[in-house]
Amino acid sequence: MSSEELDKEYSPSYWSKRFKTGEEVLQNHFKIVEEETQRNLKRYNCKRNIRYGDREMERMDIYFNTEQGSPIVVYIHGGYWQELTKDQSAYCVSPLIENGGRVIVLDYDLCPNVKLEEIVQQIRKAIKFVFKYAENSNAQSVSIVGHSAGAHLAASVLQEEEIQDISNLDRPVSVFLISGVYDLTDLRKTTVNRNNLLSLDDTNVKKCSPIFHDYGHLKSLNIRFYLYVAENDSRVFIKQSENFHNHLLSSGLQTELRIVPVCDHFDIVENLRHSDFEIIRKIIEQAVVI
């Protein structure tokens, strides 16, 4: 595939059918997610800027009605590891809290301020913090939800060496991966990685690509994967989800794949603010209604 074709395949806004230009898609997305986040900050209890590490961006917000005993849903935002923060990414909070859960929205450093490898380590640190918090607050279950780059990060956090010191993985765990990128081999050749701002090369691209990770060690745990991709994502994004779903199956894990009709790369998560949206219904079914 030529560099021009790769750029098109890895430009999610190009494939939306809702607007005339990709810029309109992005402007609409930023407006929706920021406004919904601000509404939720006013609507619900929120412990803000809880630190899971020493770096400035190693923080999380915890939204809740009932903190003790309620299931936890962790949300990891997208933005190609370069944009957005937790302060624009709490748009899934309302339907989850209204159905008895609590929601943790993570922050992390962005490229090119740090290398992509460092972001992965930050998210692994955050998830360890979450599981300790879950144990201390008697959470019924833990769900990890990630979109786009956030799906890549969510898929990267459960490596064998990383979970050995997590003591309470016996509780139900669900991982929801939405329109993610799991093989970064071709992505590094695109303008997303202009001037190698993700710091990817031949020595680390496989290490940073979940498709090359071994997940067999998770078979003995109570964990399920749910992969979603939008009908109006690019062919490459759809193929990435299909390939990763098959990779998880080959590791003997419980996994489901769903191509969500009509949606594109952006409204597939904008719709997480609606209680009747199919992904939210599944998260509630698996994570909240125990």
User: Which residue stretches of the chain have pLDDT < 70?
Assistant: 160-171, 288-290
Is 148 tagged catalytic? yes
| The domain made up of 3-277 is a member of CATH 3.40.50.620 | no
Q: In this structure, what are the phi and psi dihedrals at residue 129, rounded to the nearest 5 degrees?
A: -60, -45
pLDDT at residue 163, rounded to an integer: 57
> What pLDDT sits at residue 85?
96
Record the pTM.
0.95
Active site residue 265: yes
> What one-letter code names the amino acid at 227?
L
Predicted local confidence at residue 224, as pLDDT = 93
The pLDDT score that the predictor gives to residue 282 is 96
Annotated active-site residue 3? The verdict is no
Catalytic residue among 147, 152, 245, 265: 265
Among 94, 148, 156, 174, the one annotated catalytic: 148
pLDDT of residue 139: 92
107, 183, 233, 264: the active-site residue: 233
Sheet holding 173-178, edge to edge: 45-51, 59-64, 102-106, 72-76, 142-147, 173-178, 223-230, 254-260
- pLDDT, tens digit (0-9, with 9 covering 90-100), for 105-126: 999 999 999 999 999 999 999 9
Residue 290: per-residue pLDDT: 46
Task: Provide the strand spans (E) within the chain.
Answer: 45-51, 59-64, 72-76, 102-106, 142-147, 173-178, 223-230, 254-260
The full length of the chain comes to: 290
